[in-house]
Structure 1
């Protein structure tokens, strides 16, 4: 499945969440990631994220779609991290 993940964390937890998300998805912009992921990988990511997060203060939003081709993406301005350059 194709996902877009966005998080908002307390400053002291941002580094750990960044490292976790980079293991599974492509970094797009500050606290924003996207990419293909399996159900099992997604469950692992969410399990580990909950261990990092304080759910009373932090948030993680996940947009899921079956396939990237069903999602239209428009970028206005400078794209922070291009993922279409990979072979």
Structure 2
């Protein structure tokens, strides 16, 4: 009887250890880099974002400069305009025209 209790206790400890190792691996391998998905693509700060300007129907390329939650900010190098994106609605708005 005592031997059976030790075997059962050993199995329980082994299961707890395996679950713990799996949890630690999951935490370590989790991608903590801010990123967001929009239009079927995943963007990170520093990526290029290509989109169509609805005002003049031209294609623009912008640099992703910030990501916070579901929002993304990009800057168009040619005219230094910053665009604020709601990635759930897949819509962007020009929020300023900076001189920097």
- Short-chain TM bin: under 0.3
TM-score (normalizing by structure 2): 0.25
Of Structure 1 and Structure 2, the greater strand share is in 2
The TM-score with structure 1 as length reference comes to 0.28
More helix by share: 1
> Which structure ranks higher in relative contact order (CA pairs < 8 Å, sequence separation ≥ 6)?
1
Highest Rg: 1 or 2?
A: 2
